[in-house]
Structure 1
Amino acid sequence: MAQDIILATSGLTKEFKGFRAVSGVTLEVARGTIHALIGPNGAGKTTCFNLLTKFLQPTAGTIRYKDRDITGLKPADVARLGLVRSFQISAVFPHLTVLENVRIALQRRRRGDSFDFWRNERVLRALDGEALDLVEAVGLSDFAGHQAVELSYGRKRALEIATTLALDPEMLLLDEPMAGMGHEDVDRTAALIRRVSKDRTILMVEHNLSVVASLSDRITVLARGQVLAEGDYATVSKDPRVVEAYIGAGHA
């Protein structure tokens, strides 16, 4: 039986003044999986990710989500369809509490781009139950009353994921979720990603290969803007082209 493909690209290409950052990328992400996009520095991962999340428009090629052509849509349009990039919302306000931040994200989902800052506290408190559920889901129950500025870097990332989950995405795109984290925060965030993936599809760009190995069902390797290899970690890690690409770029 063919896999149920939730996100697919065909011939995806992006040129910047004659330079091809992404060239003819064909990608298929199966529903309900964790799919990693990896590659050495300069491979085109970030550009590809920005194309998928509509922060860039492709020079050529198509992007389909749930069998709908979304190539020409804007980021807010694809978010409303259930394809959401974590950290794009920036709904983390440093001097509001964890609970208040998540509550604001819930307001956005319910009311589009407007916020209810002017509404009375009783009306806003009606969102607390759902907000607390999300806070618990990302392991921040003990910090619900703490201001975001007081959180460690890893817990701030968890809060950002909570604000993303408030939009109830069917597919979550994570851009280097482990960047800048120490071992403890990496382990905590990896467990969080595994937990939230149970009823969602996840596509992530990640440099930490041990995290990629432990989390990913499938991996696409980019090099020089093109797909170099694809498969599970055992397959791609033994591919001589992948080894050469990483070593050649100064990666062990």
Structure 2
Amino acid sequence: MSDDYILTTQGLGKDFKGFTAVGNVDLKVRRGSIHALIGPNGAGKTTCFNLLTKFLPQSRGTMTYKGKDISHMKPADVARLGLVRSFQISAVFGHLTVLENVRIALQRRRRGDCFDFWRSESLLSQLDDEARSLIEAVGLKEFETTLATELSYGRKRALEIATTLALDPEMLLLDEPMAGMAHEDVDRTAALIKRVSANRTILMVEHNLSVVANLSDTITVLARGNVLAEGNYETVSKDPRVIEAYIGAGHG
């Protein structure tokens, strides 16, 4: 049964100077699924996400990824295991083209901890086919030669996903991927997430409940730093505790 779950936590918690941001969270993310972490403002979603991605050390509890205890590992070491947080990688450079950005990310994967910016253009161009494949996968084929700074906000996020996919993650963690997007960008990004989930696991924190409803296999609802409910959208959306938590926090 444990092989069914790629990421698990047991009693995961975080305190800040006496304030408990995350209580004792038990989480199981099924391999190959899209799992959403939701909740009203102040529920502890961001803190929990930062614990999962090793941006914060936990106060208690354990985390396991592919059967390996990652509780006290560094973010870079966890990323090498195939657990990668999108939008954390500084591989999107505004004054480089879309192709150049993805190529740099591919270079990062192939060369480990160091970049070699002095490689010849002919050597770097050997990465172009793989870069173009990733660019096409995220719907940016016609923007290959466009500078990243000239992309719309939604397409810039698509480029960031492409640079993350260049690291070939087995599990992708998305922190509010739809935040600040116009409606057309939300639809495009949701379709992209669905597409890239075909051969990997995705865990995302997201406020847009219609996106969560359409994409997620499993939803974990947090409130006051603890798990309030879990299940598919139909189950959690009808849970009286979930309804009360959202209304009580000023959400409809």
State the Cα distance separating 1:115 from its structure 2 match: 1.4
Q: Which residue of 2 aligns with 1:119?
A: 119
Q: Which residue of 1 aligns with 2:25?
A: 25
Q: Deviations over 1:86-123 (max 9, x none)?
A: 00102100000000000000011011221121111011
Q: Give the 3-state SS of the residue equivalent to 2:123 in structure 1.
A: helix
Q: Which residue of 1 aligns with 2:211?
A: 211
Aligned residues: 252
Q: Which residue of 1 aligns with 2:50?
A: 50
Amino acid at match of 2:67: D
| Superposition map of 1:12-161 within 5 A | 12-161=12-161
State the Cα distance separating 1:74 from its structure 2 match: 0.5
For the pair 1:245 / 2:223, whether they are aligned, the reply is: no
Amino acid at match of 1:142: E
Amino acid at match of 1:24: N
Length-normalised TM-score, structure 1: 0.99
For the pair 1:7 / 2:23, whether they are aligned, the reply is: no
Q: Which residue of 2 aligns with 1:166?
A: 166
Amino acid at match of 1:108: R
Structure 1 stretches of 4+ moved >3 Å: none
Amino acid at match of 1:196: V
Amino acid at match of 2:130: E
Gaps of 5+ in 2: none
State the Cα distance separating 1:2 from its structure 2 match: 7.2
Q: Deviations over 1:121-152 (max 9, x none)?
A: 01100100100000000000000000001100
Amino acid at match of 1:212: V
Q: Deviations over 1:178-228 (max 9, x none)?
A: 000011000000000000000000000000000000000000000000000
Amino acid at match of 1:11: G
Q: Give the 3-state SS of the residue equivalent to 1:174 in structure 2.
A: strand
Q: Distance in 2 between matches of 1:104 and 1:151?
A: 18
Q: Give the 3-state SS of the residue equivalent to 1:126 in structure 2.
A: helix
Amino acid at match of 2:53: T
For the aligned residue pairs, the C-alpha RMSD in angstroms reads 0.9
Q: Distance in 1 between matches of 2:182 and 2:161?
A: 18
Q: Which residue of 2 aligns with 1:186?
A: 186
Q: Distance in 1 between matches of 2:242 and 2:113?
A: 43
Length-normalised TM-score, structure 2: 0.99
Q: Give the 3-state SS of the residue equivalent to 1:94 in structure 2.
A: coil
Gaps of 5+ in 1: none
Q: Distance in 1 between matches of 2:113 and 2:45?
A: 29
Q: Distance in 1 between matches of 2:211 and 2:184?
A: 13
Q: Deviations over 1:2-38 (max 9, x none)?
A: 7700000000010000101000000000000000000
Q: Distance in 2 between matches of 1:242 and 1:3?
A: 30
Q: Distance in 2 between matches of 1:235 and 1:64?
A: 27
Q: Distance in 1 between matches of 2:2 and 2:87?
A: 32
Q: Give the 3-state SS of the residue equivalent to 2:51 in structure 1.
A: helix
